[in-house]
Structure 1
Amino acid sequence: MSNTWHWHTGEHPYLTTTLLKNWSHGFFTRASWPSSPESLSQQLDGEAAVYRTKQVHGKQVLDPSEFPLDWQTSGRPEADAVMTLAPQQAAWVCTADCTPILIADEETGQVAAIHAGWRGTALGIVPATVKRLHTQGSRLNNLRIAMGPAIAGEVYQVSTQVAAEVGRSLVLQAGDEDQLLTQLHAIEPSPLLPDEQAGRVRLDVRRVNVLQLLALGIAPDQIAVAPHCTYQEPKSFFSYRRSREKKVQWSGIVSSG
């Protein structure tokens, strides 16, 4: 997972990874607020049709054929992942601590964008998206997956109950909360870090999503994780945990073919 990340400067700076060099993509920053994906998409590919949803912390995955014809005026459909079916379609998600994940298929050119907070991660939004891509002809070894800036595990305090709920999404032995936490701590490196407060731990959601992908058969070199934390980098990113503001940064990717 040692892929190179690059900043692109300008009015709307954004981050890219060499893992997705064959696709127009970008993880944008707080500097782009309140611009919409429709305007930001001009920096990636001005010809692409933009698709985005109303995110609800679930596991629903939609493709353009499942969007209402009048969705841009009647309201965005509810889902936390968008995948494409044809070239020149752009999938977008917004985050402010949750993990933005972009997936691209080297063979078909299809892409997907995922909003993965702890709730969506617990529900398996990433494996659900990979499954949907598979139904459209994707093979696991052709997928390239990038996880953008999100809150780092070292600063993300959650209850042990939440940690156990997220942990159940992994291929672990069944057990009660304490048993699940013990199994999670035993993973190397673990997605859990200790916390001084009783009944609390620090949770690395991106690490859990990586573990879910590895369990599916995705190889480590097919995954890139951005070395940026939304909570610890206030000049670059909004963080709901830090400020409680309902402001977001956008992430998008354009299908090719």
Structure 2
Amino acid sequence: MSTEALTHPLLAGAAHGFLGRKGGVSTGDLAGLNVSYAEDDPALTSENRRRAVEAVLPGGTLQTCFQIHSPDVVTVREPWADADRPKADALVTDRPGLVLGVLTADCAPVLFCDAQAGVVGAAHAGWKGAFTGVTDATIAAMEALGASRDRIAAVVGPCIAQKSYEVDSGFETRFLEQAGENERFFRAGREGHAWFDLEGYVASRLRDAGLGKVGMLGEDTYAQEERFYSFRRATHRREPGYGRQISLIGLRG
């Protein structure tokens, strides 16, 4: 099975791809292109990461961070060893050949590009990172490298869809206290619960930040077992591991 890298025309100015689980060498519950070292044989994970990069920017150097569900962003100027990766949830660069990667398994990956300035970014936007402003921080870090928010394009990749994302009333209250208009991202469910539109919320944050070019792939990680890893699906099934997919972006040399 060949590697599947989803792309979007708004990001045509950079090499990019939102990858799922197709085309990898992992087996069992993690079968496919698992890119997390936490649950898998390191040799298999390394091969999967190599395949992912080759599918997007052959010969590129992958850069990821140790994700902590924060709004923190790192500017990548020189490659670091995987063991030395910083704790953060977004990366930006203006250096060709560096491939920025974020890992997800229901959280929203967001890829950014200002083709004119030659600046790209990648953010891991789970509900907590999105709520605390990881996308806003990514845009600011890109601007520090010469990007302009009126030129930046951003696309939200595969993530858990509203129909699959049930949350409790405390979760909903937190968002309504942030802004009353966030009510539009919740649909009523059983008593004390609601269904949350993570993709829509992230896209709204991007538009509110002044980006005029915002896209959404509309791919539900929970509902597509053959294509994507899903933390919530694996948890509901009480599976021992859940795997992670990767989304990549880089500047061609």
Give the TM-score, by structure 2 length: 0.83
Tell me which of 249, 252, 255 is aligned to 2:245. 249
Asked if 1:24 is matched to 2:15, the reply is yes
**Amino acid paired to 2:55:** Q
- Give secondary structure in 2 for the equivalent of 1:42: helix
The residue that corresponds to 2:88 in the other structure is 79
CA RMSD of aligned residues (A): 1.9
User: In structure 1, what is the Cα distance between the partners aligned to 2:125 and 2:146?
Assistant: 23
Give the equivalent residue in structure 2 for 1:193. Answer: 187
Q: Match of 1:210, SS?
A: helix
Identity of aligned residues (%): 26
- Contact 1:87–1:110 under 8 Å retained in 2: no
Distance in 2 (CA, whole Å) between partners of 1:215 and 1:28 is 27
Q: For residue 3 of structure 2, what is the aligned residue in structure 1?
A: 12
- Closer/same/farther in 2, CA of residues 167 and 111 from structure 1, 3 Å limit: farther
* Aligned match for 2:201, one of 208, 226, 244: 208
Q: Counterparts of 2:131 and 2:78 in 1: how far apart (Å)?
A: 24
> Which residue in 2 is equivalent to 1:140?
149
Alignment of 1:99-118 (within 5 A): 99-118=108-127
**Is 2:132 aligned against 1:123?**
yes
User: Is the Cα contact below 8 Å between 1:103 and 1:143 reproduced in 2?
Assistant: yes
Matched letter for residue 248 of structure 1: R
The 5 Å alignment of 1:214-233 reads 214-219=207-212, 222-233=213-224
Deviations 1:116-141 (A, max 9, x none): 00111111101111111112211111
Structure 2, gaps ≥5 residues long? 23-32, 35-44, 236-240
Task: Go from structure 1 to structure 2 and tell me whether the alpha carbon gap of 1:166 and 1:116 turns closer, same or farther (over 3 Å shift).
Answer: farther
Shift of 1:210: 1.4
- Counterpart Cα distance in 2 of 1:168 and 1:129: 24
Change (3 A) 1:84 1:191: same
- Which amino acid in 1 is paired with 2:6? L
Matched to 1:251, the amino acid is S
Moved more, 227-236 or 31-40: 31-40
**Matching residue's letter, 1:217:** G
Instruction: Name the aligned partner's letter for residue 182 of structure 2.
Output: L
Q: Would the aligned equivalents of 2:105 and 2:229 in 1 still touch at CA under 8 Å?
A: yes
Aligned: 1:60 with 2:69: no
Contact preservation (8 Å) 1:122, 1:165: no
Segments of structure 1 that go 5 or more residues without pairing to the other structure are: 1-9, 173-179
Which residue of 1 is the match for residue 54 of structure 2?
A: 42
Give the Cα–Cα distance (whole angstroms) in 2 for the partners of residues 66 and 140 of structure 1. Answer: 24
Matched position secondary structure for 1:140: coil
Give me the TM-score of the superposition, normalised by structure 1.
0.82
8 A Cα contact 2:94 2:118, kept in partner: no
What secondary structure sits across from 1:132 in the alignment? Answer: helix
Measured in 2, the distance between the counterparts of 1:136 and 1:226 equals 27
Alpha-carbon distance in 2 for matches of 1:36, 1:235? 16
